[in-house]
């Protein structure tokens, strides 16, 4: 087996362990991370970015691994978060980067560290524009798309039309204009089908569809 093939096999085994740990800690984060990976891949395919697709896949799958260090009562809190709790949540990119130090994923540490930066410099570490690694900017767009399109306990997923509008509004302030344009170069049907297939989203989507159907029947 070639060196590259051995690396690929080892990295996929270790990635699986890591994503299982993320899932054991928080089922939503595991599904969301996979969704971010799928969306980031789509961005990479539509754009002309000089970036290692395998490394981007690893970073997308592991971008929120630092959340395993966030206490349960903060990570899944029902109500609004206090300043102290927000400070804990905001540590997750740095925690994720630290967890990867000394491992075969060490070189994507910075991509994870900066995935909550904003183009206008108002993100977690104050980096702005092109100072933010391109991979982090791609993950940020995929992350936002995924957050809008996934079902949460406190709200349903946004429609694809609302998601497109919100991404356009965020381009240039929160998100990289070029990366947003690349994602939105896909047609609406493609983007709508680019949904999260985790069990939580599937269950919630089914519930929403049933609710909509009952409402329709009751109106008739």
Q: What residues between 82 and 121 interact with Fe ion by CB under 5 A?
A: none
Q: Which of 143, 145, 160, 201 binds Fe ion (CB under 5 A)?
A: 143
How far is it, in rounded angstroms, from Cα 166 to Cα 148? Answer: 9
Active-site residue, 122 included: no
Part of the chain binding Fe ion (CB under 5 A), chosen from 1-9, 45-53, 62-70, 99-107: 62-70
What is the Cα–Cα distance from 3 to 44, expressed in whole angstroms? 25
- Distance in angstroms (rounded) separating the CA atoms of residues 66 and 27: 14
Q: Is the dihedral of CA 29, 30, 33, 34 positive or negative?
A: negative
Whole-angstrom distance, CA of residue 49 vs CA of residue 40: 12
Give bridge partners of residue 171 from the DSSP assignment.
175
**Locus of tokens 């609406």:** 188
Of 20 and 213, the one with the shorter C-beta distance to Fe ion is 20
Catalytic pick among 16, 67, 122, 205? 67
Tell me the number of residues near Fe ion by CB under 5 A. Answer: 2
Of 48-56, 117-125, 136-144, 197-205, which segment contacts Fe ion by CB under 5 A? Answer: 136-144
Determine the interface stretch with Fe ion among 14-22, 47-55, 140-148, 164-172 (rule: CB under 5 A): 140-148
Question: What is the number of other CB atoms lying within 10 angstroms of the CB of residue 123?
Answer: 20
Contact 49, 134 (CB under 8 A): yes
- Least distance from C-beta 218 to Fe ion, angstroms? 37
Is 195 a binding residue for Fe ion by CB under 5 A? The answer is: no
Of 51 and 147, which has the nearer Cβ to Fe ion?
Answer: 147
- Residue 64 found at the interface with Fe ion (CB under 5 A): yes
Q: Which residues contribute to the site for Fe ion (CB under 5 A)?
A: 64, 143
Q: Which of the residues are catalytic? A: 67
């Amino acid at each position: 087996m070639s060196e590259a093939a051995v690396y690929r096999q080892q990295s996929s085994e270790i990635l699986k362990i890591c994503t299982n740990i993320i899932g054991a800690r928080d089922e939503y984060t595991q599904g969301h991370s996979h969704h971010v990976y799928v969306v980031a891949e789509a961005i990479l395919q539509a754009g002309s970015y000089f970036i290692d697709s395998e490394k981007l896949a690893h970073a997308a799958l592991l971008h929120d691994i630092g959340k395993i260090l966030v206490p349960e009562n903060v990570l899944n809190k029902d109500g609004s978060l206090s300043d102290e709790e927000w400070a804990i949540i905001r540590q997750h990119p740095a925690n994720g980067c630290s967890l990867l130090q000394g491992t075969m994923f060490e070189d994507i540490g910075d991509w994870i560290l900066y995935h909550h930066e904003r183009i206008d410099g108002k993100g977690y570490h104050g980096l702005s524009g092109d100072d933010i690694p391109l991979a982090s900017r791609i993950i940020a767009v995929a992350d936002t798309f995924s957050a809008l399109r996934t079902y949460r306990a406190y709200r349903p997923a946004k429609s694809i039309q609302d998601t497109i509008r919100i991404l356009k509004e965020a381009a240039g302030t929160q998100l990289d204009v070029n990366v947003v344009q690349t994602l939105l170069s896909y047609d609406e049907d493609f983007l709508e089908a680019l949904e999260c297939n985790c069990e939580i989203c599937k269950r919630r989507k089914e519930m929403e569809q049933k609710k909509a159907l009952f409402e329709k029947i009751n109106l008739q």
